[in-house]
């Protein structure tokens, strides 16, 4: 213990003697650790934002889209040809036990007018289940009910963005807005959701009862027509099963022959999202790996300077060996020196990495996330870099021949 403490003091003193050199050597580690911390923070920030967006979209969600039909050799994209009905949605709910909610939807885009303000936004004719599926609370007022659906009443729920653009400071609940010149009573305001992945603003929307949308806004090419059916499964483990059963139920209902293609598409949103999350993970791993390279370069810098230091202090090493220093005493002395360099560099690197990330995220608005784990890991990694790259010079020092070392000028 005494020897270890003595070695530590010797090492610190040696580093203090060459302050500039020690600082520059540390700089390599500082930049390396800082880069690792910053990159991991950016990467995990991106990941957490994606996770948040997945949660905000609603979990275990499948979307059935109508369309993808062939007409005279032309194939249309999904949703272009309406094929789904409200009854399809009811069938999915009643025939598949693993389905928790269904929300048939007829969306459209329309101009909304309040007073002298107007705003173009997406209108979604849907059922109250949509809010359950997407875990979307009503911030003020109320949601619409089965009575509203049955009576196709002219009521609507406004998203936050619409409220901001049309109303400014006024409480919109109870006000009348005109959608496609049809007057609607605002019965509630939806809570803030923020951006979905791929950047679209989820709050830029208006919900109206499905029947109202069908009868008063967008019309129907056949009774009960909807464009999409949003389905929520009971858990993530039954997603695949539900997807298959939806296919089966709808193929049967639409009387599609075994050799014919579906006239609808089922999309597993969670899957798409988790792919995005995986991409972010790989991205952050890649960034971390690149940053690690700079840490390695920093380590080589330590090795370089330690080799110079050993050569410079050959005589000192000779004296120490002559008066009784054993190989491991010398080894430890130089190893501690490089360890101190790399650990101080590591601590400063963490500070700079954290500060740099905070600046970066405040300037660019990138989401960032620090994890104690990553910081600890970077610190330990810098320590092992010190030991790894310090070992060779330290070993070289401990193997010096004392006679030659004492003669060294």
44/398 Cα distance (integer angstroms)? 44
The 10 Å CB-count burial string (b at 16+, else e) for 7-20 is bbebbeebbeeeee
Q: Does 326 bind another protein (CB under 8 A)?
A: yes
Binder among 168, 194, 240, 327 for another protein (CB under 8 A): 327
Q: What are phi and psi of 319, to 5 degrees?
A: -60, -45
Structure tokens that stand for 338 in this block: 């490089």
Closer to another protein at the Cβ: 41 or 405? 405
321 in contact with another protein (CB under 8 A): yes
Total Cβ atoms within 10 A of residue 372:
7
Strand 155-158, strand 205-209: pairing: antiparallel
Q: Least CB distance from residue 404 to another protein, whole Å?
A: 10
| # residues contacting another protein (CB under 8 A) | 22
Question: Is 323 or 372 the residue whose CB approaches another protein more closely?
Answer: 323
Among 6, 248, 293, 376, binds another protein (CB under 8 A): 6
User: Which range touches another protein (CB under 8 A), out of 142-150, 222-230, 362-370, 400-408?
Assistant: 400-408
Whether residue 88 contacts residue 66, with contact meaning beta carbons closer than 8 Å, is answered with: no
Output the smallest distance, CB 20 to another protein, in A. 16
Instruction: Name the β-bridge partners of 141.
Output: 188
Burial 127-158 (b: 16+ CB within 10 A, else e): bbbbbebbebebeebebbeeebbeebbbbbbb
With respect to another protein, which residue has the nearer C-beta, 13 or 215? 13
CA separation for the pair 83, 102 (Å, rounded): 17
Taking CB under 8 A as the binding criterion, the range among 53-61, 77-85, 204-212, 311-319 that sits at the site for another protein is 311-319
User: Of 29-37, 104-112, 144-152, 401-409, which segment contacts another protein by CB under 8 A?
Assistant: 401-409
Q: What residues between 151 and 180 interact with another protein by CB under 8 A?
A: none
Q: In terms of CB distance, is 16 or 363 closer to another protein?
A: 16
For residue 335, the minimal CB distance to another protein (Å) is 16
Nearest C-alpha neighbor of 33 from the set 289, 388, 381: 381
Q: How far apart are CA 235 and CA 82, in angstroms?
A: 29
Q: Which of 55, 182, 328, 364 binds another protein (CB under 8 A)?
A: 328
- How many whole angstroms separate alpha carbon 344 and alpha carbon 339? 8
Q: Alpha-carbon Rg of the chain, whole angstroms?
A: 33
Residue 310 as a binder of another protein (CB under 8 A): the answer is: no
Question: Rule CB under 8 A: is residue 4 a binding residue for another protein?
Answer: no
Q: Which residue has the tokens 């020690």?
A: 22
The reply on whether position 142 binds another protein by CB under 8 A is no
Out of 46, 106, 325, 343, point to the residue binding another protein (CB under 8 A).
325
- What's the CA gap between 13 and 366, in Å, rounded? 43
Q: Which stretch binds another protein (CB under 8 A): 90-98, 275-283, 314-322, 369-377?
A: 314-322
User: Which of residues 5 and 74 has its CB atom nearest to another protein in the complex?
Assistant: 5
How do beta strands 205-209 and 117-126 pair? parallel
Q: Which is nearer to another protein, 319 or 387 (CB)?
A: 319
Closer by beta carbon to another protein, 97 or else 327: 327
CB of 19 to another protein, least distance (A): 13
Stretch that binds another protein, among 30-38, 53-61, 268-276, 323-331 (CB under 8 A): 323-331
Helical axes 372-398 vs 19-57, angle rounded to 10° = 150
Size of the chain in residues: 409
Tell me if 3 contacts another protein by CB under 8 A: yes
Q: How far apart are CA 366 and CA 42, in angstroms?
A: 7
Each residue 13-52 as x (binds another protein by CB under 8 A) or -, in order, gives x---x-----------------------------------
Question: Among the candidate windows 78-86, 313-321, 335-343, 344-352, which touches another protein by CB under 8 A?
Answer: 313-321
Question: Which of 308, 321, 304, 309 lies closest to 404 in space, CA to CA?
Answer: 321
Binding residues (CB under 8 A) for another protein: these are 2-3, 6, 13, 17, 315-316, 318-329, 402-403, 406
């Amino acid at each position: 213990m005494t020897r270890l403490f003595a070695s530590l003091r010797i090492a610190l003193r040696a580093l203090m003697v060459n302050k500039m050199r020690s600082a520059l050597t540390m700089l390599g580690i500082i930049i390396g650790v800082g880069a690792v911390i910053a990159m991991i923070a950016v990467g995990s920030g991106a990941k957490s934002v994606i996770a948040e967006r997945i949660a905000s979209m609603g979990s275990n969600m499948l979307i059935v889209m109508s369309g993808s039909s062939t007409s005279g050799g032309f194939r249309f994209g999904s949703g272009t040809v309406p094929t789904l009905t409200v009854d399809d949605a009811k069938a999915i709910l009643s025939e598949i036990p693993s389905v928790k909610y269904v929300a048939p939807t007829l969306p459209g885009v329309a101009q909304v007018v309040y007073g002298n303000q107007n705003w173009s936004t997406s209108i979604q004719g849907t059922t109250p289940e949509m809010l359950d599926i997407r875990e979307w609370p009503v911030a003020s007022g109320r949601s619409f009910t089965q009575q509203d659906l049955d009576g196709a009443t002219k009521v609507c729920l406004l998203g936050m963005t619409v409220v901001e653009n049309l109303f400014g400071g006024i409480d919109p609940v109870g006000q009348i807005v005109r959608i496609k010149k049809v007057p609607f009573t605002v019965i509630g305001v939806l809570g803030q959701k923020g951006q979905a992945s791929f950047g679209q603003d989820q709050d830029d929307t208006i919900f109206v009862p499905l029947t109202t949308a069908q009868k008063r806004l967008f019309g129907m090419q056949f009774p009960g027509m909807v464009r999409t059916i949003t389905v929520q499964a009971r858990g993530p483990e039954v997603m695949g099963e539900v997807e298959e059963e939806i296919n089966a139920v709808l193929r049967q209902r639409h009387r599609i022959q075994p050799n014919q293609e579906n006239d609808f598409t089922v999309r597993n949103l969670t899957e798409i999202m988790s792919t995005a999350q995986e991409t972010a993970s790989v991205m952050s791993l890649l960034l971390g790996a690149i940053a690690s390279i700079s840490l390695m370069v920093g380590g080589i810098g330590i090795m370089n300077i330690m080799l110079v230091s050993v050569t410079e202090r050959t005589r000192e090493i000779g004296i120490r060996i002559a008066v009784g220093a054993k190989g491991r005493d010398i080894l430890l002395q130089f190893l501690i020196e490089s360890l101190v360099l790399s650990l101080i560099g590591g601590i400063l690197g963490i500070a700079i990495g954290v500060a740099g990330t905070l600046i970066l995220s405040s300037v660019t608005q990138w989401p960032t996330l620090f994890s104690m784990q990553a910081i600890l890991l970077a610190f330990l990694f810098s320590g092992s870099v010190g030991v790894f790259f310090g070992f060779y010079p330290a070993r070289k020092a401990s193997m010096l021949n004392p006679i030659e070392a004492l003669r060294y000028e």
